[in-house]
């Protein structure tokens, strides 16, 4: 069993523990300069704003706020618990929720009534991994 699974919520992870947890749970995320980060590629400004607003809603509901950088066709989300001076379970839990919502593709779920965004340039939204 992974050592990080027994971590208390406000105790910062070591870089090795962060790398292990990201590899196991959040492979699209990476560690850089003390933050866990994820770059979401979008199809343009409208999609970028939708991602920012989604991340904002989830962060406010969790009362744990990331740093966000944005450009025309991407959003970078950075998480770190300032009070703990490092990455904690709070960051991983919010990252997991952001990942679940942003990367959701209902058209890939068997028996879903939702078809998902069509594979058509007029409707492109997120550039899925």
Q: Where are the domains of the chain?
A: 3-106+115-123
pTM for the whole thing? 0.90
Give pLDDT tens digits for 36-57.
Answer: 999 999 999 999 999 999 999 9
pLDDT category of residue 1 using cuts at 50, 70 and 90: low
Q: Collect contacts of 69-74 with beta carbons under 8 A, ≥24 apart.
A: 72/44, 72/45, 72/48, 73/41, 73/42, 73/43, 73/44, 73/45, 73/47, 73/48, 74/39, 74/40, 74/41, 74/42, 74/48
Query: Could you give the percent of the chain with pLDDT greater than 90?
Result: 74
Is the confidence at residue 8, as pLDDT, over 80?
Answer: no
pLDDT at 65: 95
Element (H, E) at 95: helix 89-102
With tokens 């990331």, the residue in question is 66
For the segment 1-24, the average pLDDT, to the nearest whole number, is: 84
- Was domain 3-106+115-123 assigned CATH 3.30.1360.20? yes
Query: In 3D, which of 126, 67, 70, 71 has the Cα closest to residue 99?
Result: 126
């Amino acid at each position: 069993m992974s050592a990080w699974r027994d971590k208390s919520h406000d105790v910062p992870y070591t870089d090795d523990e962060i790398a292990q947890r990201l590899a196991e749970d959040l492979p699209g995320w990476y560690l850089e300069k003390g933050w866990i980060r994820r770059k979401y590629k979008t199809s343009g400004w409208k999609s970028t704003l939708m991602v920012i607003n989604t991340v904002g809603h989830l962060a406010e509901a969790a009362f744990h706020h990331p740093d966000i950088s944005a450009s025309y066709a991407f959003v970078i989300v950075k998480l770190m618990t300032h009070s703990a001076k490092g990455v904690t379970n709070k960051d991983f839990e919010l990252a997991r929720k952001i990942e679940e919502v942003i990367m959701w593709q209902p058209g890939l779920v068997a028996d879903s009534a939702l078809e998902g965004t069509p594979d058509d340039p007029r409707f492109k939204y997120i550039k899925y991994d």
